[in-house]
Chain A
Amino acid sequence: MAANFWESTQRRHWQFTKDELAAMRQKLEDEDPNLVQMYPLPHLRHLNIYFNQQINRLGKRLGVRQQPMATAQLYTKRFYTRVEIRRTNPYLLMATAVYLACKMEECPQHIRLVAGEARSLWPNEIQSIDTGKVGECEFFLISEMSSHLIVHQPYRTLTTLQGDFGLTPDEAALAWSIINDHYMTDLPLLYPPHIIALTAMVLALVLRPAPTGSQGGSSNTAAGLAAASAVLAQAQARAAITGGNNDSSGRSGSATPSLTSQSSSESQAAQLPGLHPGVQRAHDSGMASKKAPEDRLNKVTRFAGWLADSNIDIEAMVDCTQELIAFYECHEQYNDKHAREQINRFIKARQL
């Protein structure tokens, strides 16, 4: 329900395993192999990045805040688990998702304004967008989402817990940015929002941005992953000792066995090369007020302790961490122009 995530439609209908997600997407493609063959799409990760950025661009033009934008992101993701992308005009869908999300998050924007901004933002992609089209697409969107419009976001967990764990403003900002970034991945369809938020907090506590000028490399990324994993492994180990009230402790052994031996302090200063610009910025601003490393270590230890004592699914957090790190690496190869061209090709050819 609205306050109870565990009974929510999000939990019951919109959270999938990776296999389920892959199967749903395969099914959509199998419905019309010709279409798929005719119009190749960017790599899924890149497609996600592209949609995310386009939605954010429209949101900025409308002066929409982060939460409704995040909701629009999720609406778009949900929709495309049910409908083959190539059958739609994604720009119209994104504009509609923003329009609907604003209503749902109680900051409504006039439909004419949304249509107008979309038209001037994407002049070549949706020339003929008007209120009628947005209104019609709204029916399509709501119908495909089975009218499940209430969305639980990780932001609330972050704002609730950041004080409890003594996150500095910079660390909190970094965690916030990581949450923003996770909308570029499948994570919102895979894990509950609190898992995302906690993962973002772990990353914010252990990640250090690469020093300027240094060459990023996979070894640094690996270190970032190791640092985060070490914290989680520590928590898992402790949970196992304290009687295993952690529901994942029983099956946690295989997930990160090699990491348990690694002390978390060793990898505290892990650097992440592919950090998203927003993340980088949030962190740069905090460099001046750099604090003693013990402070940080204490915080990390406390956080790990808390995880161990709670019923948090740490394994899910491990997976989220890996997913996010992989995303940041992948983000480096992202080519906006390429993604745009591939999408615009089928829109134009099929006159969508």
Chain B
Amino acid sequence: MADRFAPPAFPRRAAKPDGIPFTGPAAAAQQEQQQQQNASFNALSRYVADGNGGADPADRSIGPIGYQSKVHVIDKYKVIGFISSGTYGRVYKASGRQGQVGEFAIKKFKPDKEGEQVTYTGISQSAVREMALCSELNHINVIKLIEIILEDKCIFMVFEYAEHDLLQIIHHHTQQPRHPIPPTTIKSIMFQLLNGCQYLHTNWVLHRDLKPANIMVTSAGEVKIGDLGLARLFQKPLHSLYGGDKVVVTIWYRAPELLLGSRHYTPAIDMWAVGCIFAELLSLRPIFKGEEAKMDSKKTVPFQRNQMQKIVDIMGMPTKDRWPLLTSMIEYSALSTLQPPLNAPHHGHHGHHYQPQRQNSGGSHLEKWYYSTINQHPTGSSASGATSLHSLGAEGYKLLAGLLEYDPDQRLTAADALKHPFFSTGDKVSSNCFEGLKMEYPHRRVSQDDNDIRTSSLPGTKRSGLPDDSLRPGKRVKEG
């Protein structure tokens, strides 16, 4: 739209004038001066036509120049390797070239393509949200945005780098011999995670996609909530929150009110996900591992029967007693088509063989699930150095049950959960979740296959042939 940069004749990265021997500071100064002269000369020459005041058509030599970033990713960051990719684009690990401290994760949103041509088609709403929210957020337990660079039709969001994430940590413990995550680590992770949630929620931000893969952990043991791609503000939205994105939260972590078709949901959906993550830290598997029913061709959202069944299997049927607004849920009628929970889970606790009072208690098997999980691992086998989860005790169960409460109004809030006795009794909570550990978790895998942050999503395109170069208008001031 605008001729934004004074010297339009310069390529993106100012060309160094050739022919000046580079011998020392004096030469450097001279070179710089020369560059400045070039720049001002160019800038000046563009308005000569105006200055002459002659025929207006002379002005035509000034064409609009396309958008160019003031900051260039490759000037500022050195890509160490490729971390991961998703529907949004790719994430790279990088270090600073200009003396920036630490390492960085650069999230690159891929540009839209029309055929071979990369074009500007408008930034996706989720990218806009993430850019906007991350620019405002500032908390120890939320991943920190360093800067955003808009260049070559791509968005580069530069974040602080985190060596681990919860998915990785959980995975590590499933490796043979399967061994539980130390209870102090779990406690610290949960506290930090809730702390980050509380910050988000008091700032009216719903994350809407909390899951182990999105919870980062730095090598200093700090937990950082990441990936705010689905997050949004919920303070007096203009439209119901349902309007924008019909489906949120990865299915295993999706709260029952969402599964039952709730339109106006609340921070409680994040708290359900936190409960699921807590359970997963304990058992090393997703607690409600359902199968997602895909949207049909009419784009109507199907009832997630399988997922709801998995929840019912452990939590029992939701009842009106425990969840007064249950009957007003859109998918309420679908509940009756689910199987009542099996009486006893596969492990532990013999006894009650006929249907217990499901109507009153909700028939929850969560307590059994919890105790059989924390007692599952051999306490005595010191050979592996594995610690027992037994120390998490009854308060651990109460916290879990408070987070996995069916009724969103009764579910623990982040602030409530932080005050829970679970954190004030037993082992002290550390702000470093790795404190006292003798081992180190494996580092994030960084692949070297794709190190070119600029061209990677444009296979087969040489840098010189980047479409934006060809798009740049040929109308330029003639040299001299």
Contact = CB atoms under 8 A, between A and B. Distances in A.
A156 B236 contact: yes
Nearest to A135: B120
Contact of B232 (A99, A106, A133, A350): A106
B362 interface: no
A133 B1 CA distance: 7
Contacts of B27: none
A143 B69 contact: yes
A140 B1 contact: yes
Contacts of B387: none
Interface string B56-98: 1001101110110110000000000000000000000000000
A134 interface: yes
A136 B1 contact: yes
A66 to B, nearest CB: 10
A111 B121 contact: yes
Contacts of B138: 1, 7
Nearest to B236: A156
Contact of B62 (A2, A105, A137, A351): A351
Contact of B122 (A87, A138, A146): A138
Interface stretch (B126-134, B295-303, B310-318, B329-337): B126-134
B67 A140 contact: yes
B303 to A, nearest CB: 26
B135 A9 contact: yes
Nearest to A111: B122
A2 B205 contact: yes
A150 B132 contact: yes
B202 A3 contact: yes
Interface in A122-158: 131-140, 142-143, 146-150, 156
A138 B4 CA distance: 14
A293 interface: no
Given A7-B138, A83-B2, A100-B128, A38 B120 contact: no
A104 B132 CA distance: 8
Contact of B4 (A83, A92, A148, A351): A83
B2 A87 contact: yes
Contacts of A352: 1-3, 64
Interface centre among A67, A87, A89 (most CB of B within 10 A): A87
B195 to A, nearest CB: 15
A338 interface: no
B216 to A, nearest CB: 20
B122 A131 contact: yes
A330 interface: no
Contact of B50 (A2, A35, A87, A143): A35
A32 interface: yes
A143 B237 contact: no
A103 B135 contact: no
B371 interface: no
A99 B137 CA distance: 24
A93 B122 CA distance: 14
A108 B128 CA distance: 11
A267 B121 CA distance: 56
B249 interface: no
Contacts of B244: 106
A330 B203 CA distance: 39
Task: Find the residue from A83, A89, A150 having the highest chain B CB count within 10 A.
Answer: A150
Nearest to A39: B50
A65 B1 contact: no
A34 B47 contact: yes
A4 interface: yes
A280 interface: no
B88 to A, nearest CB: 16
Given A2-B133, A140-B2, A149-B132, A103 B59 contact: no
A154 B192 CA distance: 34
B66 A136 contact: yes
Interface in B102-153: 119-123, 125, 128-129, 131-133, 135-138, 148, 150, 153
B121 A147 contact: no
B175 interface: no
Given A137-B1, A140-B1, A351-B64, A107 B120 contact: no
Nearest to B471: A132
Contacts of B265: none
Contact of A1 (B59, B137, B237): B137
B235 interface: yes
A9 B133 CA distance: 10
Given A83-B2, A351-B63, A106 B122 contact: no
B26 interface: no
Interface string A79-117: 000010001110011001001100111111001000000
Select the residue from B64, B121, B138, B239 with max chain A CB neighbours within 10 A: B64
A150 B136 contact: yes
A262 interface: no
B132 A136 contact: no
B458 interface: no
B167 interface: no
B427 to A, nearest CB: 32
A248 interface: no
Given A88-B2, A106-B238, A107-B238, A149 B128 contact: yes
Interface in B23-48: 43, 47
Contacts of B3: 87, 350, 352
Nearest to B123: A138
A349 interface: yes
Nearest to B137: A1
Interface in B147-161: 148, 150, 153
A25 to B, nearest CB: 17
B233 A2 contact: yes
B202 A103 contact: no
Given A142-B150, A143-B150, A105 B238 contact: yes
A149 B122 CA distance: 15
A96 B150 CA distance: 16
Given A108-B125, A135-B119, A351 B60 contact: yes
A220 interface: no
A2 B131 contact: no
Interface of B: 1-4, 6, 43, 47, 50-51, 56, 59-60, 62-64, 66-67, 69-70, 119-123, 125, 128-129, 131-133, 135-138, 148, 150, 153, 202-205, 232-233, 235-239, 243-244
A-B pairs, 6 with minimum CB distance: A135-B120, A149-B132, A111-B122, A88-B2, A147-B148, A3-B203
6 contacts: A1-B138, A34-B51, A83-B4, A106-B244, A140-B67, A143-B150
Given A9-B136, A148-B132, 9 more contacts: A2-B233, A8-B136, A89-B64, A131-B120, A134-B120, A136-B67, A137-B67, A139-B67, A349-B56
